[in-house]
Chain A
Amino acid sequence: MDNSLWLLMLACAVGTFLLRALPLIWMRRHLVRRSLSNTTEAMPVWLTVLAPTMIAAMFGVSLVPAHPGMSSWLATLLGGLCTILVWRRTRSLGWPVCIGVAVYGVVVVLLKMIG
C-alpha cells in the first residue's frame, strides 16, 4: 500500500472507532445530567426499543445461508428449532449454539449424501 492508502486505512479505523466511542461518551454525560436533575426517565425510550430490534435485524440477516437452497434452508430451520429447544431446557448460551450448529451440520451432510 502506498502512503495515501495507509492514511485512508487509518482514517477508516479512526472513524469507525469514533462511531463506537463518541455515542457512549455522549450517553454517559446525558445520564449524569439526568441523575443530577433527578429525572426518572434516564434513557430515551426509542433507544431502548432500537437495541433489541437491531439484534433481531442481525438475526434476520444472518439467517440467510451463504448459498441459499432447499438443503441450507431446511438445515437452518431444523438447526434453529433445536437451538430454541435446548435453550428452553438449559437457559444458557453455549449449549444451544453448539447443538444448533451440530444439527445444522448433520442435516447439511445428510442432504448432500442423499442428493
Chain B
Amino acid sequence: MSSVDLSKSSAWQQGARDALPLLGGYIPVAISFGLIAVQSGFSALETVLISALIYAGASQFLFIAMVASGAPLWLVLVMTLLINARHLVYGPNIAPYLSNSRWWPVLMHGLTDQIFALAHTRLPQLEEKDRMGWYISAALIAWGSWIIGTAVGAIAGAEITSRWPLLGEVMPFALPALFLVLLAPRFTSVQWTLTMIVTIVAALVLKLMGMTNSAIPLAALCGVSLFYLVQAKLKAEGKIHG
C-alpha cells in the first residue's frame, strides 16, 4: 500500500482534507435531522445535544421517531443500540494501526461509518506519529459538521429546504462517491472483486427492499461468506495454499 507524503502538510491538515468530502453527506442529513426533531417536539438545544452525544445518524432518527410515538423507553434504548451494533467491528479493525495512548478509546466517540472507512484506508499509509493527529482532525471535522448541520436544521431547516431543494438532493452523492474511492483499490483479485460486487449488490437490493438498518450487516455477512466459499474453491483447485 502506498504511503502518504506529509512533507508539505501536517497530519492535521491531511485529516481535514480527507474529511472534507464527508461534509457533502453529513450536512444535508444533519439539517434534515434537526428539522424533523424540532417538528417532533424536541427543542433546538435538545436536538443538538442528541447529535453531539449519540452521534449516530440512523439511530438518532429512530430515537426521535420512537420517543415521539410514545414507545417504551427500554425499547428505544434496545433498538438504538441494535442499529449501532455494526460499530462493534470497526475498532478492532483499526486497532493494529493505533499507538498505546490511553486517549484512543476516548476518541472512538468519533468512529462513525464514514470515519471508519476513511481511517481503515488512511491509517496504514501514515507514519505512527501522524495517526492520532490525522484521526482527531478528520473526526472533529465530521463531528462538528454533524452538530452544526443539526443546529442549522433545528433553527432554519424548513426555510433552507424550501429555498434550495436541489442542494439536499445533490450533496448526499458525496457519500457514495467517497465510498467508491475508498473501495476502488480493493479490486485486486478475482476473489476480492467477486466479494465486493456481491456485497454491494446485496446491500443495494436490501435497501431497496426497505431493510435500511439491517442491509449493512447482512450484506457484509453475505460478502464474507462468499469470500470463504471462493477461497475454499481455489484451495480445492490448488490455486492457493494454506
Contacts and interface: CB of A to CB of B under 8 A. Distances in A.
B169 A27 contact: no
A53 B176 contact: no
B169 A97 contact: no
A63 B175 CA distance: 9
A68 B169 CA distance: 11
A4 B227 CA distance: 46
Given A83-B177, A83-B181, A97-B21, A66 B172 contact: yes
Contact of B220 (A10, A19, A21, A50): A50
B117 A57 contact: no
B91 A27 contact: yes
Interface of A: 1, 4-5, 8-13, 15-17, 19-28, 30-31, 42-43, 46-64, 66-68, 72, 75-76, 79-80, 83-84, 87, 91, 93-94, 96-98, 100-101, 104-105, 108-109
Given A52-B195, A57-B203, 20 more contacts: A8-B76, A13-B54, A19-B87, A20-B109, A23-B88, A24-B95, A24-B104, A47-B93, A49-B195, A52-B196, A57-B200, A57-B202, A64-B207, A79-B177, A93-B18, A94-B20, A96-B181, A97-B174, A104-B170, A108-B166
